Amino acid sequence: MARHPLQRLESPSRLFSLLLHTAGLVSFTLSFRWLDRWDHPMVKGYGGYYQHLTNIGLAMAFVTFALGVAADLTLHRPLFALKNAMSVTSAPLEVLISLLYWGIRAIDTALLYPPEMELYWVTDVGFHLVPAVVLTLDLLLLSPPWTIRAYAAMAISMGIAFLYWGWVELCFSHNGWYPYPIFAILDTPQRVALFTGAASLMTASTVLLKWLSSSSIRPDPHQQDNTLTPQIVPTLPTACTASRIASSTIAPRSAPFASSSLRTLQQTSRRAYSSQPPKDKNGIKVLPFVALLGLCSISYTLLVNSRNGTKPPPSDNMPLIDGPSKKPALAAPAKSTPTFSPKTTTVLFVLGGPGAGKGTQCANLVKHHGFTHLSAGDLLRAEQDRPGSQFGQLIKDYIKDGLIVPMEVTVQLLENAMQATIDAAGPGAAEHRFLIDGFPRKMDQAVKFEAAVCPAKLVLFYDCPEATMEARLLERGKTSGRADDNAESIRKRFRTFVETSMPVVDYFAQEGRVIKIDATSTPEDVYEVTKTQLKARLSNF
């Protein structure tokens, strides 16, 4: 890569440049602030959030625009040149990240992240679209043109792709999981194809941006005419002949002028840049490219094969559950049939906002109708307090922040509790009836539970206004001692319920499996309505 003679070393519009760089820097800073507040097992693993290519590209974009702001404020030309050099690499990388992310996301979001990691659209755009847009604007408007050979672009792209692959495998050897679930689905040859395709796409992005940046340059009126218009200038032999004539005919006192004329002729002894560009001899060198690809592929195939024999070390105290940090959800084979048959096991989901009175109604049904009450929240709280639990702190932080605990954790806890109840009842029990309180909280949880554990017969949905629920929870918080019974956590739980749990209610309502009950009345009145509705819908009630 080399700087083009006409590349700008200062902004053509200092105000626009400063505004663009500042806006980009603010966006990147907000994204990093979000990452610092992101509490997920991956952050605590080897490599942290830099296991994701998105965050590596974001760091490069941050450095690029920090240099841009410094150059705009100081008008220091070396800073501007350094910013341009960073932009040549970071802009194509961000374009690659955006193309890959949104392309794969259109196919299936589960290939990019597990359900509990889904981003709000504003955050999603801030990470996966804004950097590519602002870096492309900076490259095209503030620093063109620039030069980079096709083979050099390939080498940079291939180097980034395979260095990132090596980094991913190194993190896996420490953590036991991949940052993107798609890596767990693909085998080694498929990963080679994925990273090679990504490198080729980045090369294409680099070439396209190079062409766009070269076409976006405008003539500088302050430059001399010989750099803007076609000129035929003397060849080198002509210049030498002229110099000999000058040296033989001009008086000694004119020697300095002759030397100056010679230098002028020698400096202009080729066509100016814009008159006739030199022939591009920068074709793709196929043999070195194939050799580089083969070397990287063989190296990382050996790395993966040797790594497969070294599993992550087990925990000293094995947890009650196999959490998501052991194996991505997509990597585990799905069960062909649920663990429990709906013919002998009746499952009712009990849903409603926090403070709707679900626990009270479940207690009445257990007391008078022989249901087993399983509260997802109680099971999670018991797991977080269990000595030696690997995921105790994770669950505690999720509950405190009003967030949904990873699906694999909750589903496995419920299945274990149901199995323990059935085992305790013995083989003589003809039927088992469960009330599952506060679950499912999201559609993916509902789908996974019904596919892997047991389909639900009905959903009891207790409808209650937020103001009523908040008053109930604040009153309960005075004596409950629960960390999530405070105003801030309560409001977060309300938002989470509306955004993630109401679609579950709507889904089951479309299937005719929802009993909606007004929960604003007294507990006794609500229970009477519940009994009446269940008698009408359940034959064995």
126 is in an annotated binding site: no
61 Cβ neighbours under 8 A, 6+ residues apart: 24, 28, 90, 94, 131, 134, 135
Q: Residues 384, 387, 388, 389: what is their CA dihedral angle, to the nearest 10 degrees?
A: -20
DSSP string, 336-347: SS-SS-TTTEEE
Tell me how crowded residue 520 is: count the other CB atoms within 10 A of its CB.
Answer: 14
DSSP string, 30-81: HHHHHHHH---HHHHSTTGGGGSHHHHHHHHHHHHHHHHHHHHHH--HHHHH
402 is in an annotated binding site: no
Task: Select from 14, 266, 277, 60 the least CA-distant residue to 147.
Answer: 277
476 is in an annotated binding site: yes
Q: What is the number of H-type helices and E-type strands within the chain? A: 21, 5
Q: Return the DSSP state at 180.
A: S
Alpha-helical (H) ranges within 269-375 are: 286-308, 358-369
355 is in an annotated binding site: yes
359 is in an annotated binding site: yes
Could you give the angle at the alpha carbon of 418 between the alpha carbons of 181 and 512, nearest 5°?
A: 75
CA distances, 516 to each of 219, 429, 464, 502, 538 (Å): 71, 31, 10, 12, 15
Could you give the angle at the alpha carbon of 352 between the alpha carbons of 396 and 517, nearest 5°?
A: 160
Q: Are 161 and 196 in contact (CB under 8 A)?
A: yes
441 is in an annotated binding site: yes
Q: Are 339 and 419 in contact (CB under 8 A)?
A: yes
354 is in an annotated binding site: no
440 is in an annotated binding site: yes
Q: Are 194 and 162 in contact (CB under 8 A)?
A: no
352 is in an annotated binding site: no
Q: Are 96 and 56 in contact (CB under 8 A)?
A: no
Q: Are 443 and 503 in contact (CB under 8 A)?
A: yes
CB-based burial, 151-171: b 16+ in 10 Å, e otherwise: bebbbbbbebbbebbebbbeb
Distance CA 408, CA 399 (A): 16
Distance CA 18, CA 73 (A): 8
438 is in an annotated binding site: yes
521 is in an annotated binding site: yes
Give the pairing of strands 514-518 and 432-437: unpaired
Tokens of 43: 């952050």
381 is in an annotated binding site: yes
Distance CA 200, CA 97 (A): 13
33 is in an annotated binding site: no
The binding site for ATP comprises: 355-360, 476, 521
Binding residue ranges for a ribonucleoside 5'-phosphate: 381, 403-405, 438-441, 445, 482, 493
Annotated binding site: 355-360, 381, 403-405, 438-441, 445, 476, 482, 493, 521
